[in-house]
């Protein structure tokens, strides 16, 4: 019952084309923002939304250790469920944990062949078989297109959808379609692109690519106090 309520109340349903997982298998999504604005918090909410549906999520961090990523999940989950009975929530948390796997790489040690090798090992040993992958810390540099093309192939072969956190910088210019510089040259590989834009005490959640049809979609924000996604603030 709590799972169903959390899924139905989640403003994530207003992002993308409102498919069950927001992104279909083989597709890429990106969350863009400057450092400290809330990229990881939104990725974690995307992950929890998928976990609540009984699916499996692989969270890959190229910057932070496992314990820091784990803490993000605990904090976001705590804010999401603060109005529910503690005993029931503790049980739900324990039920979700086996569906999540956190994997870390050093930035210079990350490559698609290494990821595929680890992923294959996990699946062949029946340890973990994800349906969603989050990648935090990927470098969008001059070699990014080749790696992303390989990742797209991997995603299709393993029936995954993949979300990336992308760091932007204040001084960088956006393209004519509003896509920020770091992802501009590879934006064709992405199906949904979301930007977090601070303005005063609000953090606007703006869909730059993959905007769903219809005019009744509410404005979305991250609450600066909890970093939770809201459709009013």
Domain that holds residue 88: 2-230
Q: What is the pLDDT of residue 175?
A: 82
State how far Cα 218 lies from the chain centre: 20
Q: Structure pTM?
A: 0.93
From residue 26, alpha-carbon distances to 34, 96, 132, 154, 160 in Å are: 27, 24, 10, 8, 5
Alpha helices in the chain (DSSP H): 2-9, 39-51, 66-80, 86-96, 112-124, 144-157, 181-184
Tell me what the mean pLDDT of segment 147-151 comes to.
Answer: 97
- Give the 3-state secondary structure of residue 12: helix
Domain count, the chain: 1
pLDDT above 70 (res 17): no
Rg (CA), the chain: 17
User: In sequence order, what are the residues at sequence separation of 6 or more whose Cβ sits closer than 8 angstroms to the Cβ of residue 15?
Assistant: 22, 192, 194, 205, 207, 212, 220
Q: What is the pLDDT of residue 166?
A: 95
Which pLDDT tens digit goes with each residue over 116-130? 999 999 999 999 999
Which pLDDT tens digit goes with each residue over 45-57? 999 999 999 999 9
pLDDT above 70 (res 19): no
Give the C-alpha separation, 221 to 15, whole Å: 12
Which pLDDT tens digit goes with each residue over 72-90? 999 999 999 999 999 999 9
Give the confidence band of 39 by pLDDT, cuts at 50, 70, 90. Answer: very high
pLDDT above 60 (res 181): yes
Tell me what the mean pLDDT of segment 20-24 comes to.
Answer: 77
Give the confidence band of 18 by pLDDT, cuts at 50, 70, 90. Answer: low
Task: Output 21 or 33, whichever has higher pLDDT.
Answer: 33
């Amino acid at each position: 019952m709590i799972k169903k309520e959390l899924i139905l109340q989640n403003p994530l349903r207003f992002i993308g084309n409102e498919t069950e997982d927001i992104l279909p298998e083989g597709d890429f999504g990106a969350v863009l923002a400057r450092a400290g604005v809330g990229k990881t918090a939104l990725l974690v909410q995307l992950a929890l939304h998928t976990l609540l549906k009984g699916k499996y999520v692989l969270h890959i961090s190229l910057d932070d250790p496992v314990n820091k990523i784990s803490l993000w999940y605990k904090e976001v989950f705590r804010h999401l469920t603060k109005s529910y009975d503690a005993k029931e929530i503790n049980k739900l948390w324990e039920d979700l944990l086996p569906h999540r796997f956190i994997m870390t790489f050093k930035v210079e040690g990350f490559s698609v062949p290494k990821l595929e090798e680890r992923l294959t090992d996990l699946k062949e040993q029946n340890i973990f078989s994800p349906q969603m992958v989050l990648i935090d810390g990927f470098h969008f540099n001059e070699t990014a297109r080749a790696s992303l093309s390989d990742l797209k192939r991997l995603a299709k072969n393993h029936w995954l959808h993949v979300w990336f956190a992308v760091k932007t910088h204040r001084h960088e210019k956006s393209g004519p379609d509003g896509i920020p510089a770091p992802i501009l040259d590879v934006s064709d590989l992405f199906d949904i692109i979301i930007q977090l834009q601070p303005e005063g005490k609000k953090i606007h959640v703006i869909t730059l690519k993959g905007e769903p049809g219809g005019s009744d979609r509410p404005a979305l924000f991250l609450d600066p106090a909890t970093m939770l996604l809201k459709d009013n603030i």
